[in-house]
Structure 1
Amino acid sequence: MTKTLQDIETQPSVPKHSLTRVISRTMTLMVVMAALAISVSILTLLQSHSDARAINVSGSLRMQNYRMAYSIETKAPEAEIQAKIVAFEHSLHEPALAKLLDRNTPPPLKRKYQAILDEWQVLKAHLTDPAKRPLYLAEVKSFVDRIDKLVFLLQSHLEDKVAMLVLFEAICLLVLLATAVFAIRFVSNQVVQPLKLLLHAAYQVKRGDFSVKVKTGKADELGLLSDAFNDMAADLAKLYEDLNQKVAEKTEKLHLANNTLSVLFQCSEAVHVSHVDDAQITELMNKIIDNTRINAMQATINPQLAHALRDRSSVGDMTVGGPRVCFALYINDISLGHLELISAEELDENELRLMSTFSRLISKVLHVELLLQQEQQLLLMEERSIIARELHDSLAQSLSYLKIQLTLLRRATQDVEGPSSAIMADLNTGLNSAYRQLRELLSTFRLSVKDDNLKTAINTVLKQLQPQTEAQLQLDYRVSEYPLPPHQYIHVLQIVREAVINAIKHADAKQIFVRCVYDGEGKIDIQVEDDGKGIGGEVPNKLHHYGVAIMKERAESLDGGLEIANKPDGGTLVSLCFPAVGNSVT
């Protein structure tokens, strides 16, 4: 009976007689011996350098003693004698010699050096006293002999080191040679020969002879490989018998692929016949689920499309267990969301290819929706720009002309006393008010929102108004993930602008805050508050003020509400609350 793959996997990972273990140990031994020999050689070389320096310095001590004795006998100047004493003492304490006092130094050598140091202290006392220098001359010969014995001990110590190094290197070389011979014979017998048998058997299998058997008779890796090769040859014969069944399975998969093409064709027709909405996307996902093994599917749309489509559409129960696959929805490097699905079992290649194509189809649909949204925004901005230009060219020029005429009239009647002066003052006030309101209206029409970024637009409005007041204008914006349609942007910006202008003119505040938050239930709350004097008893009049009335109309167009009230701790609070996705059209 042939072994199954499961039977082979349950066998020990390392055989009883492992080739890799023997080879690795052999190579490790060779590397260790080589590294040890090199390390010992380098260490000995470094130490020998210091020993050679010690021999040279100790040899020079003899000549320096004779020179001092000669200087004393020839009655050389005192300065010359003192200089030679200093030079001798410096050589005697040379670092190469001072190392002889380390504990690693052989005891005879250490004792000899220490004796010379002690004797030098006695001779140094004789040298420093001119009256005792004859005593030094009497002892110089014996002192030089002791230095000779130190040099001899140093040479012997160095020669012993070299001899030990040669012996150690010879042992390492013999071990390396023996290991190399063993490795060559082992690889030849245990690796090369079995590999030749396996190569011959592989050639037989290539020719179609599946009855071939490899018999190595070894319980090592190549023995296991031979057994696996024999099992493989037996399994190949069985695989040929299963070809008919595989053909049937392929036929079934082709039939499934035909069904998937049909589903994709139906989906393509559905998305091209009309404008796509949430219901159609849900219907397309239902068709995919009906024709595949997918149990549930969910499409998550990125925020820039959230006002046109629901940010999340799902079919089936996404909480059940099972393999999950996620496909990114993008086109032209623009991220539009992602498509997540759950299946009872792993999807095959055809089903994955179907879902990949379906995700690209949904991406194209969403991209078209995004282009339509951008086109709508551009048209709206263009329309408002045209209206602003027409107002500027007609009404603004007319008001400017009236201001000029009123100024000329006041100059012509400045000497006239009576009711006409008060009437002209009222006319001037009314005309200035109308001109100011016209400028604000033009600013409103010229507001533009770029890249669906309401935060940037509100910041721009606050920067424009900051020079008009000493109060600090601040923005707290927390709705960046919930974009608004273009018409909502304009209404929100104008309400914020009007509320901030009212606070600047009437509140006498030090700080004005604009807060934009998302309440988590599909509504956006925008608050404009100040720390000023509040509206007090003027609330009824303020509620019917023309500017406030316009703000309320804009709030109603957003399907929301506007409230104006005093804060408990002082100041005024203007609150605008409206759905994140509105149905009104400007």
Structure 2
Amino acid sequence: MDNRRNDQRIKWLILLIPTLTIGLWEYVRHAFLLPYLSMDLGNLLAPFIVLAVTLTLVRGLFSRLEQSQQALQNEKSTNAALEEREQLARELHDGISQSLFLLAVKLDQLDEIQTNEPVKQLGAGLRETVRVMHEDVRQAIASLRLPPSPAAAAWVVPLKELLSETAAITEAQAEFIWNIPDATLTDKEKVELHACLREALFNVRKHAKASRVFVIGEPDDTGGFRCAVEDDGEGFIGDPLFAPGRFGLRMVRDRAHGMGWTFNAERRGDHTVVELLKLGGKST
């Protein structure tokens, strides 16, 4: 409300200042300067005086009005983002989270009535998968309910927080290295990068047993970028895209290919690397 009142005052000043300037000039000219200035010269000077006032006072008011409007637009965008995040968090909680809980209950019931050992082992594996998925959903809900940072690269903040959580859970050292200018990424690229890097971090948390974890985002000379999650954990056994329970990496690969990016998941020396590469000039 205060911003709107301030904007109204600025608009009125923009309207009134030129008029008041002309009125004041005419008064001063007729009251004090008439013996020294001819009528024609006074008329000639009037538009230049109004122009000078406009370039000084009114121009500054326009700048303040633009800043106020931009701040108001940013506030609206932030509120809209908060509402969307809260709605998505509710949908996750009321939909997927409760469905997973119900599935876990049914698996417990199956375990109680089933005596066949292979079936019991399969049920135990399914129960563990459901538990991990439920934890992932719970973490997603918690992240969505955190207020976004007002920084330009606010979408990166949850990745930093997830990296810190991963480091705390796995007792690993974490390093976040991000040098990609935010303005060089489209909104779609931000969404896809966030989803891919998030899934890669969850993969480190669940499987790597790492002592060091890195999230890296760096531009290249062609206008593209390299984003990666690296760790010094156990690494992959065989092809990670076909390992049991590694659905997340397949999702990352499919998202990357859908954006026209190159996807790599491999062992390099003593580090496991999940990497996304965009070549400069490729449209998304």
State the TM bucket, normalised to the shorter chain: 0.5 to 0.7
> In the TM superposition, what is the alpha-carbon distance from 1:373 to its structure 2 partner?
4.1
1:422 aligned partner? 118
Q: Which residue, 446, 451, 465 being the options, matches 2:150?
A: 451
- CA distance in 2 between partners of 1:245 and 1:479 (Å): 64
Equivalent positions of 1:233-252 (< 5 A) are 243-244=36-37, 248=41, 251-252=43-44
Q: 1:398 to 1:537 in 2, by over 3 A?
A: closer
CA RMSD of aligned residues (A): 4.2
**For 2:170, which of 466, 469, 474 is the aligned residue?**
469
Distance apart, 1:470 and its partner CA: 3.3
Work out which of the residue numbers 36, 46, 49 in structure 2 matches 1:254: 46
CA contact (8 A) 1:403 1:428 kept: no
Q: Partners of 1:560 and 1:360 in 2: how far apart?
A: 46
Counterparts in 2 of 1:442 and 1:460: CA distance versus 1, 3 Å: same
Indicate whether 1:382 and 2:174 are aligned.
no
Offset at 1:376? 3.2
Is contact 1:384–1:446 with CA below 8 Å preserved after alignment? no
1:108-163 CA-to-partner distances (Å, cap 9, x unmatched) read: xxxxxxxxxxxxxxxxxxxxxxxxxxxxxxxxxxxxxxxxxxxxxxxxxxxxxxxx
C-alpha distance in 1 between matches for 2:265 and 2:55? 58
State the distance in 1 between where 2:135 and 2:278 align: 27
1:514 aligns with 2:209: no
Measure how far apart 1:243 and its partner are. Answer: 4.5
Distance 1:389 1:254, change over 3 A: same
Specify which of 45, 65, 72 is matched with residue 371 of structure 1.
72
- Which whole-Å CA distance do the structure 2 matches of 1:455 and 1:510 have between them? 23
Aligned equivalent of 2:179: 478
Give the CA deviation at 1:534.
Answer: 4.1
Cα 1:245/1:365, change in 2 over 3 Å = same
Structure 1 residues 377 and 350: CA distance shift in structure 2, 3 A: closer
> Structure 1 residues 545, 532: closer, same or farther in 2, change over 3 A?
closer
The verdict on how the C-alpha distance between 1:396 and 1:568 changes in structure 2, with shifts beyond 3 A counting, is: closer
Q: Report the number of matched residues.
A: 243
CA distance in 1, matches of 2:96, 2:130: 10
* SS of aligned partner of 1:509: coil
List per-residue Cα deviations over 1:411-460 (Å, max 9, x = no partner): 344xx4xxx33224323422431342243234335424222345543332
Q: Aligned partners of 1:257 and 1:384: how far apart in 2?
A: 53
Task: State whether residues 92 and 141 of structure 2, in contact with CA within 8 Å, keep that contact through their aligned partners in structure 1.
Answer: no
Q: Distance in 2 between matches of 1:545 and 1:257?
A: 74
Counterpart among 429, 436, 440 of residue 132 in structure 2: 436
> Residues 462-510 of structure 1: CA distance to partner in whole angstroms, max 9, x if unpaired?
2222232133221123357759787765544433222122234444433
1:86-97 aligned within 5 A:
none
One-letter code of the match for 1:502? N
Q: C-alpha displacement at 1:546, in angstroms?
A: 2.6
Aligned to 1:575: 275
User: Following the alignment from structure 2 to structure 1, what is the Cα–Cα distance between the partners of residues 92 and 47?
Assistant: 67
Q: Tell me how far apart the structure 2 counterparts of residues 489 and 401 of structure 1 sit (CA, whole Å).
A: 33
After superposition, the Cα gap between the structure-2 partners of 1:381 and 1:522, relative to the gap in structure 1 and judged at 3 Å, is farther
Q: Distance in 2 between matches of 1:475 and 1:573?
A: 15
Judge conservation of contact 1:380–1:486 (CA < 8 Å) in 2. Answer: no
Identify if the C-alpha distance between structure 1 residues 406 and 378 changes in structure 2 by more than 3 Å, giving closer, same or farther. same
Residue 538 of structure 1 deviates from its aligned partner by: 0.9
Q: CA deviation at 1:556?
A: 6.5
Instruction: Decide which of 161, 166, 171 is 1:460's aligned counterpart.
Output: 161
State the alpha-carbon separation in 1 of the partners of residues 234 and 125 from structure 2.
Answer: 26
Does 2:258 align with 1:563? no
Residue 239 of structure 2 aligns to a residue whose secondary structure is helix
Aligned equivalent of 1:51: none
Structure with greater Cα Rg? 1
| 1:548 counterpart letter in structure 2 | L
Other structure's SS at 1:450 match: coil
Q: Which residue of 2 aligns with 1:410?
A: 111
Contact preservation (8 Å) 1:472, 1:510: yes
Give the aligned residue type for 1:573: V
Q: Distance in 2 between matches of 1:431 and 1:441?
A: 15
TM-score, normalised with respect to structure 2 = 0.64
- 1:529 to partner: Cα distance: 1.5
Q: Give the superposition deviation at 1:350.
A: 3.9
- 1:391 corresponds, among 81, 86, 92, to 92
Letter in 2 for 1:421: E
Distance in 1 (CA, whole Å) between partners of 2:71 and 2:185 is 13
Q: What CA distance in whole angstroms lies between the structure 1 residues aligned with 2:80 and 2:224?
A: 26
Deviation by residue 1:539-572 (Cα, 9 ceiling, x = unmatched): 5536x95312333455577x56252243543322
Q: 1:156-197, CA deviations, whole angstroms, 9 ceiling, x for partnerless residues?
A: xxxxxxxxxxxxxxxxxxxxxxxxxxxxxxxxxxxxxxxxxx
TM-score by length of 1: 0.35
Equivalents in 1 of 2:109, 2:248: separation in Å? 31
Structure-1 separation of matches of 2:109 and 2:204: 35
Q: In 1, distance between residues paired with 2:210 and 2:99?
A: 36
Unaligned runs of 5+ in 2: 1-32
Deviations 1:251-302 (A, max 9, x none): 33423466x5xxxxxxxxxxxxxxxxxxxxxxxxxxxxxxxxxxxxxxxxxx
**How far apart are 1:519 and its partner, in Å?**
4.5
Q: 2: CA distance between counterparts of 1:490 and 1:365?
A: 29
The 8 Å contact of residues 264 and 276 in structure 2, kept in 1 or not, is answered as no
Pairwise CA distance, 1:385: 2.4
> Is the 2:92–2:137 contact (alpha carbons within 8 Å) kept by the matching residues of 1?
no
